[in-house]
Amino acid sequence: MTHLLKKTWVKYLAQALAVAVVIAGAVFYISGQKSVVVSVDGQRQEITTRAATVGALLEQQDVALAERDEISAALDSELADQQLVDIKRNKSIEVTVDGTERVVHTTGMTVADVVEQLDLDKDSEVSLDEDMQLAALSDELEVITPKEMTLVVKDKKKKIATTALTVKQLLADEKIKVDGNDEINVKIKDETDKDVKDSVKLAAGTTVEVIDVTVKTWDETRDIDFETKKVKDSSLDKGDTEVKTEGKKGERELTLRQETRNGKKGEEEVLKSKVTKKPVAEEIRVGTKEEKKETSTSKNTPTPSSISSTWAALAKCESGGNWSINTGNGYYGGLQFSASSWRNVGGTRYAPLPHQATPQEQIAAAEVLRRSGGWGHWPSCSSKLGLR
């Protein structure tokens, strides 16, 4: 009986030990497991693992890291239960900044992250929505930074900050209208590109000058002045003159052009010229005959040969010998013609008024007057000189 009880006790003890071993093994196995989260660019996955390190975990999950990828923990660090392993993949983004292409390596998720990484001016112009995910990016990202420039329009200068890359864009942004006649000058780093008609790449410090140009063309008929030829004539007393051929003005048809720049008119430019009526040259006979010596005892009555000195004496009396005098009293020149007398004897062929003509021309007109009425046209002075 005792032997039977002993045998039964041994059997139960063995079974209990076996169960204990199984339970201990299970507890040991369960205690080595960890529940972790792996996040790749925001995509989270919960994983149960017995990996001892972060690197072992990634190897088990076939997660490879590229050179520029970022991870929240070192690969050889011990993996803890409930740990978050955060991986941010590198993205190589093609970016054009102010017209210059470059590649930006970033672990950011959106366009805004790239712009922030570039550390650009907050007023920069970005071609894509800043909330756009880089993973969905199909178009090239273009960024234009503000540039300090000087804008001169119609001689008025002002400083501006603009994201325009070309002259065309700048003028559109500033609402400046130009036409084909206007001139645009661009000065970049002390070099001026004059009369720019198309797009020129702009940079900080550029000066853009807009000159308002208007062009006027018209047709006009203008007079052609005639020449005056003087011919010596020995039949006339020295100093006397006589018109042989009256001069006549010609005519010319012109096509003219004139530029006005910022309101300032330029010189007239002749585009076409055609003579429609030729001028007739005026021919004046100039006396060369020397005066004869006086044989009479009278010193007050001049002979024909002394007419030149007579006119000089008469002018001395009438105007003090000032052939260009105009006192405003209605009489002009050395011989004090009235305007009507000057016109009546044809004096306007020489000049509009007597004082504007030469002494010889005034004398020539006076000879016509003297022949029609003698010295009585100068009553006072001719009497003083004994001419009548």
Domain of 114 in residue numbering reads as: 91-144
Q: Are residues 51 and 78 in the same domain?
A: yes
Q: What is the pLDDT of residues 349-372, one digit of tens each?
A: 999 999 999 999 999 999 998 888
C-alpha atoms less than 13 angstroms from C-alpha of 192 in its C-beta half-sphere = 9
Q: Is 3 part of any domain? A: no
Q: What is the pLDDT of residues 25-66, one digit of tens each?
A: 444 344 579 999 999 988 999 999 999 999 999 999 999 998
pTM for this entry: 0.47
Q: Are residues 237 and 190 in the same domain?
A: no
Question: How large is the average pLDDT for residues 174-200?
Answer: 81
Q: What is the pLDDT of residues 255-281, one digit of tens each?
A: 999 999 999 999 999 999 999 999 999
Q: Is 78 part of any domain? A: yes
Q: Using pLDDT thresholds of 50, 70 and 90, give the confidence band for residue 9.
A: very low
Number of domains present in the structure of the chain: 5
pLDDT of residue 11: 55
Q: The domain that contains 232 carries what CATH number?
A: 2.20.230.10
pLDDT of residue 295: 43
Distance CA 132, CA 128 (A): 7
Residue after which a domain boundary falls, among 158, 192, 210: 210
Q: Are residues 302 and 377 in the same domain?
A: yes
Distance CA 80, CA 77 (A): 9
Q: Is 189 part of any domain? A: yes
Q: Are residues 378 and 304 in the same domain?
A: yes
Q: Are residues 114 and 177 in the same domain?
A: no
CA–CA distance from 147 to each of 13, 156, 159, 160 (Å)? 90, 20, 10, 8
pLDDT of residue 320: 92
Q: Using pLDDT thresholds of 50, 70 and 90, give the confidence band for residue 214.
A: very high
Residue after which a domain boundary falls, among 224, 253, 286: 286
Q: The domain that contains 332 carries what CATH number?
A: 1.10.530.10
pLDDT of residue 174: 92
Q: Are residues 222 and 233 in the same domain?
A: yes
Q: The domain that contains 40 carries what CATH number?
A: 3.10.20
Hey, how many other C-beta atoms are within 10 angstroms of the C-beta on 85? 21
Residue after which a domain boundary falls, among 158, 183, 210: 210
Question: How large is the average pLDDT for residues 301-317?
Answer: 69
Q: Are residues 319 and 372 in the same domain?
A: yes
Q: Is 57 part of any domain? A: yes
Q: What's the residue count for the chain?
A: 388
Of 208, 194, 212, the residue nearest 154 (C-alpha): 212
